[in-house]
Structure 1
Amino acid sequence: MSTTGAGVPVITLTEAELDRHVTHGPTRGLLAGAGLPAGTDLLTFSPLHTHGLRTLADAADGPFRVADELRDRLVIGELLNPAGMRRESILLDGGTGELTTAYLFATPRPRPFAPSLDTLLRFAAVTEELAGLRGRFASLAGRYGPETAAQATRRLLSLFEEGADGEVPPYWKAAALIRPLALVAGPGTASGLTLDVPARLLDEQFGHGRVSRFEEVDFPATLTHEPTRRFLRETGLPEEAVLFHADTDVPLPTLREYAADECTGDGSLGELPAHADHLIRLGRLVEDNSVVLDGRTGAVLAFSEPEATLHPLNTDVSTLAFTLWLLHHERTIDEHLGHELTTRAYDHLAAAMLHTLSAVDPTAPPPGPDWHCWTELLQDERGGAL
């Protein structure tokens, strides 16, 4: 096995290593010739370097029974899911060249991924072109809005359809329908926040009269971050969204005021943060969790009431609004597809959603292994986030 190439690390296999495992001619030629990139932004073939060419039966050796028809599938890579998500393995059928995905640490249930290695590499490459707005997506650079996102989706979906005879596997369909949504709102050059979110975007998604906009009298004195004040006045937040219910009883309370009002009798929110007077409650995220913002910086956090702890949620109110819009819009998409994504590929959909959030908001999700609220909520299939 070789892991070096001209400028780009690649993994190639010798004829002896391929031996009887890979009989499909084009696949065998690629693996022994040009080889596979060690990794892309979406997936890695590093298991080949670490473990060599091994069958699913060998890789999943343990308490999980592998069906006879799957035992000879070859484990060649892994999907690079956002931090905090389990990695799914990429499996190769050495006789046909077809690729599927499956989790090794459960009873393997392979799902379609790509008809060939060559097609898989092209799918990954065009998805990376979208992320960098280059190549076939270069014309979209500097353009934002729902129509730009729709154009990117149509282009990406057509490229996938060409490579899969019109039958786009769920992973790539989720990528085509969700990842371009990062182009809906542009960078915050006018708002002074992370994103410039047009007020009409929320009105069109949630309905007129269902977006709360605030007046100066509604803000506590400790909300001193002017871009946040302006956003809440002019753009606002949905009164009710997936997982979120806004505080419509104005004025907005500080966390200390909210605790004093809520904790009567034996009730208690535990020991409040020292800067509770600078934390303004915007609403409820899920049961026993509040969405609060730091009035000095505009940072948006999740406050766990039982544990009296704070966790980063979004960079600011503009990315909070985008997240709530994205969650609501995803449901519209999935309903149009007859709930195909949530029933066939919930984990792939959750990964696409988290990739999209991380493309526009550095706080969601973080690059490291730290606990993150949106990562936990979107992975919870039973929790109803998607």
Structure 2
Amino acid sequence: MAGPERGEEVYGVSKNDAVDWEGERTLHHEDEQTGLRAVVAIHDTTLGPGLGGVRFAAYPTARAAAREAQRLAEAMTWKNTLAGLPYGGAKAVITDTGGITDRAALMAAFGRFTATLGGAYVPGVDLGTSTADLAVMARTGATVSCATEDPSPWTAMGVLAAVQAAARHVWGHGGLADRRVLVQGAGHVGSRLVRSLAAAGARVIVADTDADRAVTLARETGALCVPADRALASACDIFVPCARARVLDEATARTLTARIVAGAANDQLADDTVVRILTARHITYVPDFLASAGGVIRIHAAEQGWDTARTAAAIAGIGDRVTRVLDEGHRTGDPVTAARDQARRILRSAARPPGPLA
């Protein structure tokens, strides 16, 4: 299938739903038989095909779905580039209309659409989707990741490395003993982090909108459980967001007690002004696309046949990248811009045409 021009939106989206974006493609697809309403945003393919998860969630409008896909696709470009992976950035969202009766048929329809993109987009698991969903897509001929393995444990490993690097930056060492660490979200990644942090001697605080899940995890690990709606008011040294997007806005950034923010949740900041507020308050922020790169590293490692030791060593390297970004961010006052600028330099170098033959 011939791709649309840069920035073009297709598949029945009205002009009122169009948005300005610097990415390569935003594709809308509908399938009346299954009720599929999907958006695929491909931000940058300089380094390779766009790799990013498929999110299944409710969206009020096609514009809102597109905006989410585009924001997350851009973050995937930074994540994959800084992790040294041969992938670009992309993301997909499937709108949960509440009336889906055949999930397998829905995912198969999305897989067939993805297959028409000729490998330009490689989907993976994300909020609301599972390895079983990706396996269904793969059977339609789509090239996918995560069809047989959930990379969440590796994502958690990378976040832990990021937290330890940030602790060294702030306190001069990466030890977490007796540090109060608030983990927001007790899902696949958050629950593993709670266990790892508790094992490292941290005083863990856990919150989740599923109160029973949070209570159970707290009992298993000795963590303190707090209500989800009061989590950000909890006194802590480190805040680890592993749940909803844009958890930090101007109001929460001005009242947060933590010295460090580093977590797995995507799109943590309401906008770029938030990081400036955090910096002014001497709160160290680790860009989410740096901290959460363990999962995509694992995806590449599995594709290349790396053993566990090599994969773990590559994910531990997240800590070194966090240190470099925080050092640069300390000089400039903005770790997010520092990280993006590093990624842009890599992309510009990769896109540069070769010199003349000798």
Smaller-chain TM-score bracket: under 0.3
RCO comparison, higher one (Cα < 8 Å, 6+): 2
The normalised TM-score by structure 2 is 0.27
